[in-house]
Amino acid sequence: MHRILEARFLAPDIKLFRIEAPKIARKRRAGQFVIVRVTADGERIPLTIADGDPEAGWIALIVQGVGKTTRLLNTLEAGDAIQDVAGPLGAPSHVENFGTAVVIGGGVGTAIAWPTAVALKQAGNRVISIIGGRTRELVILEDEMRRVADEVHPTTDDGSYGFHGLVTDKLQQLLDEGRTIDFVLAIGPVPMMRAVAEVTRPHGIRTVVSLNPIMVDGTGMCGGCRVEVGGETRFACVDGPEFDAHQVDYELLALRNRAYVEFERARLEEFERRRHEGPCRLERQLEELGREDAGSATPRA
């Protein structure tokens, strides 16, 4: 069991957890992830490690509540515990001094991009960060990014904050201004990553994306996370999760990510229905799931 030291919402449905995990905290490097099981009979989900402290022995995870498991996780508070956390998994980000590096995060993708932005800065890069969201409250980690990046450009699709437009519009603007860009890291929804790849391709800028396929074990054993990169089948969990943005078959990735969409929707609806039947019911359910402390499980609905 891994105790939660801190839990707070960064945006509606996006929550940051600091979790006790001393071994993982000692080993983790930017770009790596963990596999989490929230309860003793839950599914295994991959979550990127957003931050960590090897001395204090914690890692940070930033979770967007999109399905049953992530919503359940987001009901947990400091003092609660998570059943299983395995990692750090995947290959670390390839970090070197490229010159000027643009780090692009879309929505919760910013959480995944943030640790690599830190590593890029430490490696001597000039770091420009573009962090986008549909609307103002979905732009996360701006203060954290400002602490590491030389420039931060928040963008919103609806113009409610920062640059009015997509992250790719901002990237295009920088290129049109004649800015030198040596490296781009883009992490976010599949269409966003694909669009970034198309913006940088004509300029020949080295571009990397972090892929988020469905995983089960996360150690190379099942092959469920296979993606096609440059026409070759690769396993995101051991060969990635980062790959050359210009070589990825995004259409296949998007299709494969929808493989269980009906099942996921049904599970989520069932979860939300039960949750709205009242906190007592949820507490009972969590207790049945073997939680140590169900007392603080009142949902913030």
- Is 85 within 8 Å of 36 (Cβ atoms)? yes
Q: How far is the CB of 259 from another protein (least distance, A)?
A: 5
Q: How far is the CB of 210 from another protein (least distance, A)?
A: 17
- Among positions 23, 164, 179, 265, the unique one binding another protein when judged by CB under 8 A: 23
Cα atoms in the Cβ-side hemisphere of radius 13 Å centred on 210: 30
Stretch of 57-65, 110-118, 150-158, 215-223 lying at the interface with another protein (CB under 8 A): 215-223
Stretch of 22-30, 93-101, 122-130, 144-152 lying at the interface with another protein (CB under 8 A): 22-30
Mode of pairing for the β-strands spanning 206-210 and 242-244: antiparallel
Q: Quote the radius of gyration of the chain (alpha carbons, Å).
A: 19
Considering only CA atoms, which of 180, 198, 50 is closest in space to residue 102? 180
- Among positions 5, 86, 246, 272, the unique one binding another protein when judged by CB under 8 A: 86
DSSP state of 67: S
* Closer by beta carbon to another protein, 78 or else 252: 252
Stretch of 113-121, 171-179, 189-197, 220-228 lying at the interface with another protein (CB under 8 A): 220-228
* Closer by beta carbon to another protein, 123 or else 259: 259
Any residues with CB less than 8 A from the CB of 216 and at least 6 apart, and which? 44, 222, 224
Question: Whats the size of the chain, residue-wise?
Answer: 301
* Closer by beta carbon to another protein, 49 or else 102: 49
- Please report, for residues 5, 39, 286, the alpha-carbon distance to residue 79 in angstroms, rounded to integers and kept in the order given: 6, 15, 14
- Is 63 within 8 Å of 73 (Cβ atoms)? yes
Q: Is 228 in the site for another protein (CB under 8 A)?
A: yes
- Among positions 87, 109, 115, 162, the unique one binding another protein when judged by CB under 8 A: 87
* Closer by beta carbon to another protein, 1 or else 78: 1
Q: Is 88 in the site for another protein (CB under 8 A)?
A: yes
The two most distant CA atoms of the chain are separated, in Å, by 60
- Among positions 6, 8, 9, 41, the unique one binding another protein when judged by CB under 8 A: 41
Q: How many residues contact another protein, by CB under 8 A?
A: 40
Q: Is 24 in the site for another protein (CB under 8 A)?
A: yes
- Among positions 224, 284, 296, 299, the unique one binding another protein when judged by CB under 8 A: 224
Alpha helices (H) in the chain, listed in sequence order: 22-27, 68-73, 109-122, 142-148, 167-176, 190-200, 236-239, 250-257, 261-276, 279-288
* Closer by beta carbon to another protein, 21 or else 192: 21
Interacting positions 238-257 with another protein (CB under 8 A): 238, 252, 255-256
Q: How far is the CB of 43 from another protein (least distance, A)?
A: 4
* Closer by beta carbon to another protein, 21 or else 117: 21
Beta strands in 26-182 (DSSP E): 33-37, 45-53, 58-64, 81-82, 84-89, 100-106, 126-133, 151-156, 163-164
Q: Which residues bind another protein (CB under 8 A)?
A: 23-24, 27, 37, 41-44, 68-69, 83-89, 216-217, 219-224, 226-228, 233, 235, 238, 252, 255-256, 258-260, 263-264, 267
